Structure 1
Amino acid sequence: MKDSVIIVSGGMDSITMLYEFKDCIALGISFDYGSNHNAREIPYAKLHCERLGIRHITINLGFIHQYFKSSLLEGSEAVPEGNYNEENMKSTVVPFRNGIMLAIAAGIAESNQLRRVMMANHGGDHTIYPDCRPEFVNAMSAATRTGTFEKVEVWAPYTDISKADIARRGNALGINYAETWSCYKGGEKHCGKCGTCRERKEALHDAGIADTTEYEE
């Protein structure tokens, strides 16, 4: 039964979720909030939704770029290089980004008589991003259930697993991860040096998957 909306960025995690749960997804939503890499990742979200016959829409959130503070919104040079950890990646937090996106997606879900909104946060995000943690997911789901007639729920099935676990699932589904985007710098190729590039490399390595990503280095 197709009863779900998925927030699909075009990255490894949301594309894996798109394929794994395609039979229950009625709509894929991408958000363009003016980040360095939106223009690189959103076309992949559209591509994969089209392949699966899932309707895809992109919603512009230009006010985030205008009013919010994050290195993701300040050009590629502002994005830190190095390991994917709290100290290094804290500047990439876009304040309450997932809360804003989930609220919009819940309204769209209710408008289309759908019951769930899916997000692809994972265990490696918890220490860095407050709006990826289990307590946030539970609180947000409680809010959307209470605030909608359809009792729309937030469903985040990857919350407690690693990115390598996600990569293993995607590999079993036949996903070509070269057709996804991770790099926060948003250049022509993945930089290979920022935290998200390094996390991508490590996940694929740990999962035993050949990394066919084109890197600058």
Structure 2
Amino acid sequence: MGRAVCLCSGGLDSTVAATIARRSGMDVYLIHVSYGQQAERREIEAIERIADAIGASDLMCSRIDLFRNISALTTQGARIPRGEEVSLDSESTPPTWVYCRNTVLLSMAAAYAEYLGAHSIYVGFNAEEAMSYPDNRPEFVEQFNALLEKAVASFSRPPKVVAPLVDMRKKDIVRLGADLKAPLELTWSCYLNGEIHCGTCGSCQHRRRGFVEAGIPDPTEYQH
């Protein structure tokens, strides 16, 4: 089946996407990018365990400073909306938006894929996050793939971004992950850097609701 690069945060969605690639028989090469996010330490710990659990062929951890201190998500100690300040079905972009993040991270993954000769780049983009994050939408994937057709050397085959969850909400992703026996219990979703999930930030609330609506027991320990 060949090789697949999987852009993984260590969170629920990208882990399920990587598991799909692995279950389809591909050799999976995970790439995780530290870009100043408050939960950087926890994400790295999670992705290292996930790589072992799914039998990834390799894990590349990269670091960039482009986004540091330009978003609530990438400014240490910055206030992140929590509790009732979070609207799970809002279509407005929250202060945790990181400017053009997926464009930059996918470009890095594409460079890695071209080097490896991988034909696919798996991502965890999904319909729930696409409501407020435009770089999770199908048209973004389509346009990025069109760019890749013109972006690689003449002797290379352009890799293609594959977003298997792009039409799914969190409950559907949880159900699929459970069916695939993805290591959901190892994933880290929280925007913060605590020892356990805070339970009240937007990402934690989406995660909690996903498990509840899916009717799947949530293996996550929450502070609140």
- Shorter-chain TM-score category? over 0.9
Query: Is contact 1:77-1:185 (8 Å) kept?
Result: no
Separation in 2 of the partners of 1:89 and 1:60? Answer: 25
User: Cα distance 1:152–1:176, how it changes in 2: closer, same or farther (>3 A)?
Assistant: closer
Match of 1:80 in 2: 81
Give the one of 39, 42, 48 matched to 1:40.
Answer: 42
Match of 1:198 in 2: 205
Matches within 5 A, 1:1-217: 1-22=1-22, 23-54=25-56, 55-65=58-68, 69-81=70-82, 82-86=86-90, 90-148=94-152, 149-217=156-224
Q: Which amino acid aligns with 2:105?
A: M
Separation in 1 of the partners of 2:193 and 2:89? Answer: 20
Query: Is contact 1:6-1:25 (8 Å) kept?
Result: no
Misfit runs of 4+, over 4 Å? none
Query: Is contact 1:89-1:195 (8 Å) kept?
Result: no
User: Cα distance 1:132–1:117, how it changes in 2: closer, same or farther (>3 A)?
Assistant: same
Separation in 1 of the partners of 2:149 and 2:120? Answer: 10
User: Cα distance 1:89–1:182, how it changes in 2: closer, same or farther (>3 A)?
Assistant: farther
Q: Percent identity?
A: 31
Query: Is contact 2:21-2:28 (8 Å) kept?
Result: no
Answer with 38-47 or 83-92: which moved more: 83-92
Pairwise CA distance, 1:20? 2.0
Separation in 1 of the partners of 2:38 and 2:53? Answer: 26
For the residue of structure 2 that corresponds to 1:27, the secondary structure is strand
Answer with 77-86 or 102-111: which moved more: 77-86
For the residue of structure 1 that corresponds to 2:149, the secondary structure is helix
Gaps of 5+ in 1: none
Separation in 2 of the partners of 1:194 and 1:88? Answer: 16
Separation in 1 of the partners of 2:219 and 2:92? Answer: 26
Pairwise CA distance, 1:154? 1.1
Separation in 2 of the partners of 1:60 and 1:52? Answer: 23
Larger fraction in helix? 1
Q: Which amino acid aligns with 2:177?
A: G
Length-normalised TM-score, structure 2: 0.90
Gaps of 5+ in 2: none
- Aligned CA RMSD, in angstroms, stands at 1.7
Separation in 1 of the partners of 2:218 and 2:183? Answer: 10
Query: Is contact 2:36-2:65 (8 Å) kept?
Result: yes
Q: CA offsets, 1:6-46, max 9 Å, x none?
A: 00111011111222220224310000001011211222112
